[in-house]
Copies of this chain bind each other. A is one copy, B any other.
Amino acid sequence: MGEKPIKGEQKAFMTGNEAVAWAALAAGADIMYGYPITPQNEIMQYWTRLAPKYEKKFLQTEDELSAGFTTVGGVLAGRRAFTATAGPGNVLMQEPMSMAEAMRIPTVVVVQQRGGPSTATVIYSQQEVTLTCFGGNGEGLRVVYSTSSHQELFDYTIKAFNTAWKYRFPTFVLADGYQAKMRESLVLYDPQEKGQKMVPTEAFVGKPGTPGEDRAPAHLRNTYNIEEELMDELAKDIKEYEEMTPEITEYEEFNTQDTDVLIVAHGIVFRSVAMAARELAEEGLKVGYFRPITLRPFPRQELQKAAAKAKQILVVESAYGQLLKMVKDNLYGLDVPIKGYLRPGVGITPEEVVADVRTILGEEE
């Protein structure tokens, strides 16, 4: 490897896509495979500018199927490999990621959500939550981090490689077009310098020695002949997924001790929610928030705890109930009323959230 891309802590003002490219470098990613799609393009563009300087590689593939499957190949070869996509590209990405899920291949995918369904808009949404968490013909045995700032995009992209390689589930960093394209400040750093060890990678194929002589050959597959064989495999994976869950779920909460309105939101929308909740709380209103950072696995117990003390839950998202469904699923059994403020495909301002909470609280704006 060439010289360290980042030395010390460096304050930077850049786009989210640039932050992802720097994070991948900082994490020691070896190779990126990708296919252009807005609003993710600049990740590739920064990576291709930076990569040669640090002996990193890049391959632009013919489509997202190929981007995903080459990423799978890169990981099989024992490299920290990643890709990035969005929208219709994320739909296609589900085929390779279903293979990664079945075979426990630690791929890392950055998703910058755009409007949906179909080509829709190249701009923004939170409509790829169900897709990213549960896409493919499986049970969603993946890890999905939803970021809400450039700092987090940087932090969680690094973390994604570690989670993936430690637990061997495909891992996603879920952001959106706003985060991708906007510029704000963050601090870049080398995780190793900060004592954050990178989980070492390991080759699945091409290890030293002659297979059948020095060692057993790797015989990797995702196909089973008999139903029960598959179920046993799934049972094992599900067990490991559930054992991992308490170790990796992350969330953030505020004012959840005794709330009239508990607002649940993730990603960039969470920022508007946080502003709104703090503003209302400062006025003395009992308004708090809960933000899942891992959407998969979901911080179920933590949300249940916070929700149990609330009079009303308000789920705010730039989608038509994708987070809402998760919240209801995870809170089933409670009887706190849940309302959605659902704006599929468009941004949500703090003002809107404030207004909606006031309406709930019966106040006039």
Binding site for B on A (CB under 8 A): 87-88, 90-92, 94-95, 98-99, 101-103, 114-121, 123-124, 127-128, 130-131, 134-141, 222-231, 234, 238, 319-322, 325, 328-329, 331-335, 337-338, 343-347
Contact = CB atoms under 8 A, between A and B. Distances in A.
B332 A338 contact: yes
A121 B226 contact: yes
Contacts of A139: 116-117, 127, 319-322, 344
Contacts of A230: 115, 120-121, 344-346
A137 B116 contact: yes
Contacts of A223: 118-121
A333 B335 CA distance: 4
Contacts of A344: 139, 230-231, 234, 238
14 contacts: A91-B94, A98-B118, A102-B117, A102-B118, A102-B120, A115-B227, A116-B136, A121-B230, A123-B226, A131-B137, A231-B343, A325-B329, A329-B329, A332-B338
A229 B344 CA distance: 11
A231 B352 CA distance: 16
Given A98-B88, A115-B227, A134 B123 contact: no
Contacts of A321: 139
A225 B225 CA distance: 48
B137 A231 contact: no
Given A119-B223, A130-B134, A325-B329, 13 more contacts: A91-B94, A98-B116, A115-B227, A118-B137, A118-B138, A121-B225, A128-B137, A130-B140, A139-B322, A231-B346, A328-B328, A333-B338, A335-B335
B136 A222 contact: no
A76 B188 CA distance: 51
A333 B114 CA distance: 32
Contacts of A333: 335, 337-338
B120 A127 contact: no
B116 A138 contact: yes
Contacts of A136: 91, 116-118, 131
Contacts of A119: 99, 102, 222-223
A225 B128 CA distance: 19
A59 B92 CA distance: 23
B238 A320 contact: yes
Contacts of A102: 116-120
A234 B120 CA distance: 10
Of A101, A120, A347, chain B has the most CB atoms within 10 Å of the CB of: A120
A94 B95 CA distance: 10
Contacts of A335: 333-335
Contacts of A234: 320, 344-345
Contacts of A138: 116-118, 127
